[in-house]
Structure 1
């Protein structure tokens, strides 16, 4: 369900101009519909401006509570190692690709260079092909 600018401003307790500034600066994405009005996705609105609950008691913390990571560090560590391997592989391919294009450019440059002798040839030499 898409929201209009007015609806989004009411939901996140912000002014419409604040939302427009966020859209124009790129902090929040919102395409326009065929009438030229912004269509705001609720998930995008929540990402840019987290919703404030109306019935918050004073003893509740506004910071997120940490979750327990029992035996979760090992899978995370394995995932990071795998990502490092993939990044190194991508870097190797990029270097190989760069070397290929560099060699190709050098060959093209060599073809463009004038390798003929610089001394002027006479008319007779040009006719005889010397």
Structure 2
């Protein structure tokens, strides 16, 4: 369900002009409906202007998180280390690929350069078109 500009401004506690500025600058997308009014998707509004749900008050402190024991973090650490290793492998492959394409471009550039010796043409050669 799309929101009007008024509804969107009330939900995210911003002014309508702030929302209009965001739409015009491209930070938030909102197509116009048949009547020429903006139809704002709630997900797009939340992406551009994060707001808290109404059941949580902004002045409340966050709820305490359960403590994580040492045994629970080890699988996460292993997974993160593996992910780092995979990312490093991907980076190395990308660098190798970039080097390959750079060398190929340099070879192509060498083919485009004129390697012929420039001999001065005499007046007779210029007149005859040789």
Where structure 2 has 5 or more consecutive residues not aligned to the other structure, the ranges are 123-130
1:97-123 deviation digits (Å, cap 9, x = unpaired): 21111111121122123333445699x
Runs (4+) of structure 1 moved beyond 6 Å?
none
Root-mean-square deviation (Å): 3.2
TM-score if structure 1 supplies the norm length? 0.65
Compute the displacement of 1:38 (Å).
2.6
Q: Is the 8 A contact 2:30 2:41 kept in 1?
A: no
TM-score computed with the length of structure 2 as normaliser: 0.65
Question: Partner of 2:2 in structure 1?
Answer: 2
Aligned residues: 119
User: Is 1:43 aligned to 2:43, yes or no?
Assistant: yes
Distance in structure 2 (CA, Å) of the matches to 1:96 and 1:69: 44
What residue number does 2:68 align with? Answer: 70
Instruction: Give the structure 2 partner of residue 14 of structure 1.
Output: 14
